Amino acid sequence: MAEAFAKKHGMNAQSAGTIPSPRINPTVVDVMRERGIDISSNQPKTLAPELIQDASLVVTMGCSIEEACPKPVIAQMRKKLIE
């Protein structure tokens, strides 16, 4: 959702997770469609070091848990992090 809203407002954004779902929740697809944003063809992505490296800003939701976000990933993100 965050990626879609950012792109709608002209930003270059990517969204990824440490343990992504195999598919986007159909309820989320419906809610976004109600707001004029079609995400039906989007696929959940795994957070990769390359995504962090290429980002100028990283926004997280609870990625300080080492089981979900290994230390090297957290260290790389801390340089660009907004929690």
Domain ranges of the chain: 1-46, 48-83
State how far the Cα of 45 lies from the Cα of 23, in Å rounded to an integer: 9
**Greater pLDDT, 45 or 71:** 45
Name the nearest CA neighbour of 40 among 49, 58, 27, 56.
27
Name the nearest CA neighbour of 39 among 6, 77, 76.
6
The pTM assigned to this predicted structure is 0.69
pLDDT at 18 (0 to 100): 80
Give per-residue pLDDT as tens, 17-44.
Answer: 888 899 999 999 999 999 999 999 999 9
Instruction: For residue 68, give the amino acid letter.
Output: A
pLDDT at 48 (0 to 100): 84
Give per-residue pLDDT as tens, 52-82.
Answer: 888 888 777 665 555 666 555 555 566 555 5
* Chain mean position to CA 4: 10
